[in-house]
Structure 1
């Protein structure tokens, strides 16, 4: 904790300098090499002769817009003495009141019931009672704020006495307790909010005290990610495929990308599955930065997997020879908003090397969200993401504060630079409507 403010201020100072400093030659070579590789694999990719350099006035306008993205970053202030589990701050406007309320429930709620998740032996569904920390913070929370929150759909703090575990979950009071190794899921949630994607579910890192409800391995002192359970997510009735809202093979996915569902084709007309075309650009950008393969590339076809990878041990990697055998997983939407996706199981690969990045994750993508790309260009992702992670005290302290988290964030920045180069090489569109 000590010195956190100093490190974040240094990050903000470096933010502007990064925009004026040329990238190291080695990184540029890596980017060009990877981008060239991808272009060679894609027959429709433009050749260097087809590309036109942007006009200077367009470059100037882009730089001006990118600087505006970081205008508020100089106001960061992180008090060293803030011991709240979830730290609320006006310097993190990307975290909504609803996000923070759910984070408080996840970080401090008492486990009152549990249930197993079918086919997911290492994940436990737990209902959380907000009563204990609401009493502790009662003096700080006005009745107006509580009434406003109770009116929110699926608000987890709603003061209703459910009859059983299923009822608690239906009202939005449940969570998933994941493996300690899945801690990257917390960073993924904050990255989602900082980039303005707003598709991941709230997540925090926490430990649990001794409990009559939880098995010992959940109360042994090891911090683990806790993710909010969204009762509105639509699951297939098929038990073997319940982690999807719609079944999709890789060829079907590539075909729906080509027809631009919701723009040039009806959302419900084949091959479309009701999801807006722009959603896939959000997903691809998010998954590429985090290197999440267990969604678009479950069989690890787009990179060199280690022999101990589950996709190798379970013989999934052998399916890469036939695209028709490849299926997408964790393609989920809400029942009340089926045209927008929900990102779950976001524990990607924090240490995936730059020379083994999975470019299959962006195959077929022809547009990306402008807000997220602008932030990647600005060089200010580090300051904003560290400030966001500071809101989760257990995650922040458990990873060594700014000094411990900075290498992880800079890895994301490096992947962002590689993706930006790919966007420039392929002259892809940026979508303002996202």
Structure 2
């Protein structure tokens, strides 16, 4: 047998010749096989050729489709070079979790972080750190306070109003609004403002109290007191109170003060929430056991205060009826408003910019007895009913971080509100209700923006209904 050696100096032609000779010898050896074995080898060679050809074609098609897909995406991404169409549709990559909607004009300004000097004494360091947090929160409120004191002249405000922004095109208003609600909304949206005062509540940001031309009682014994024709202008960040007012009326709770949105030229055209000022609304007095704390609140739920007649002194009851707590917990859970029953943010994971973290309330969650309730108010002439104030909604909290502490101790919920949640009419009713406030509707981006907010509420409704079924919550009639 010949042996062919390939020396480094040989050309490529000689290498090809040797390869062909070797392949010819392989074929001659295969030709000596039987006819059946030759047919089998030929079939195997054909199959191998077809497999390689298919693999090559499919890989070419995949590369072409991948190139076309990348080109299609690049043409639709904002800022990509040379889009070929005038009506480009931008795409967004969605995560597995639904991103909650954010109500416009509710973003808080970023606060500058201040460096805290190291202190040798640990107690002094803790006190100094707490003081820095309180100062930072005060500075966030000072921005709005400075606007109030710099723009408005003491005791007078000249604001040119373009007319009422409350629109009702049909002969009848939505059935959940009373005639007094419609009149109050129209008054707040178009009244002429004459006198202005700055209000600085203890547990709330500063606001602006305005009095209309006919808003003073001229009697000698009550001179200068608001006579029901006054309103409160709040920060643009509190715009969710308008949404909360409509949700309160749609659910049939009827406990919130009337709130509308109004644009003020003196505030550089900013849209601010305006609520009715009711001088008869006062804080609920302390119970027989002391201040309204979480422990006394749970005790009052256990004994159903004022539902079984006159409560006993050891029940730690306030002047509020037992059903009022059931109504406010349903309302606050849908809004995820923790500032009334969970001021310390103990039932969820708060953000660093939340007030409960900045003021140090969140560190007190281990001591349940010291947890205080806030914004618990009622009217002087109606001490059994709550009045919902400072109803801020948090739309940026997903379903995995809901505050279920608001529902703790609740065994009953109002049938009227739960029937609305179960009837699939919540979206339709909220759209019809919010359409009445033209300024709020347009500021949120029209129907598309409003529906994003309703999507968040509907997801929380499904969670609440599952909670009712899982914990055996009774749905009972709670007549006013």
Q: CA deviation at 1:264?
A: 2.9
TM-score calculated relative to the size of structure 2: 0.61
In structure 1, the partner of 2:316 is: 271
- Output one character per residue of 1:163-198: Cα deviation in whole Å (capped at 9) or x when no partner: 79x856531111111110110000000000000000
In structure 2, the partner of 1:7 is: none
Distance 1:163 1:237 in 2: 29
**Which gives a bigger RCO, structure 1 or 2 (Cα 8 Å, sep 6+)?**
1
Distance 1:297 1:252 in 2: 14
- Segments of structure 1 that go 5 or more residues without pairing to the other structure are 1-25, 28-82, 131-155, 211-218, 239-245
Distance 1:375 1:252 in 2: 31
> What is the 5 A alignment of 1:278-427?
278-427=323-472
Report the 3-state secondary structure (helix = DSSP H, G, I; strand = E; otherwise coil) of the residue aligned with 2:264.
coil
Equivalent position to 2:178, from 71, 87, 96: 96
Q: CA deviation at 1:234?
A: 2.1
Distance 1:387 1:87 in 2: 11
- Output one character per residue of 1:321-341: Cα deviation in whole Å (capped at 9) or x when no partner: 100110000111111110011
2:292 counterpart of 1:248: yes
Report the 3-state secondary structure (helix = DSSP H, G, I; strand = E; otherwise coil) of the residue aligned with 1:327.
coil
Equivalent position to 2:165, from 81, 85, 103: 85
2:247 counterpart of 1:199: no
Report the 3-state secondary structure (helix = DSSP H, G, I; strand = E; otherwise coil) of the residue aligned with 1:186.
helix
> What is the 5 A alignment of 1:52-63?
none
Q: CA deviation at 1:364?
A: 0.5
Q: CA deviation at 1:123?
A: 1.2
The Cα RMSD (Å) is 2.3
Equivalent position to 1:234, from 273, 282, 288: 282
Equivalent position to 1:110, from 184, 192, 196: 192
Distance 2:306 2:182 in 1: 32
In structure 2, the partner of 1:123 is: 207
Q: CA deviation at 1:402?
A: 1.2
Report the 3-state secondary structure (helix = DSSP H, G, I; strand = E; otherwise coil) of the residue aligned with 1:126.
strand
Distance 2:226 2:312 in 1: 28
- Output one character per residue of 1:91-126: Cα deviation in whole Å (capped at 9) or x when no partner: 511111100111111111122112222345531111
Report the 3-state secondary structure (helix = DSSP H, G, I; strand = E; otherwise coil) of the residue aligned with 1:113.
strand
- Segments of structure 2 that go 5 or more residues without pairing to the other structure are 1-95, 98-162
Which one is further off, 228-237 or 395-404?
A: 228-237
Report the 3-state secondary structure (helix = DSSP H, G, I; strand = E; otherwise coil) of the residue aligned with 1:124.
strand
Report the 3-state secondary structure (helix = DSSP H, G, I; strand = E; otherwise coil) of the residue aligned with 2:300.
helix
CA contact (8 A) 1:92 1:388 kept: yes
User: Runs (4+) of structure 1 moved beyond 6 Å?
Assistant: none
Equivalent position to 1:220, from 259, 265, 268: 268
Q: CA deviation at 1:225?
A: 0.3
Distance 1:412 1:313 in 2: 27
Report the 3-state secondary structure (helix = DSSP H, G, I; strand = E; otherwise coil) of the residue aligned with 2:183.
helix
Structure whose CA Rg is larger: 2
CA contact (8 A) 1:266 1:272 kept: no
Q: CA deviation at 1:267?
A: 4.6
Distance 1:236 1:424 in 2: 33
Distance 1:85 1:171 in 2: 24
CA contact (8 A) 2:217 2:226 kept: no
Report the 3-state secondary structure (helix = DSSP H, G, I; strand = E; otherwise coil) of the residue aligned with 2:270.
coil
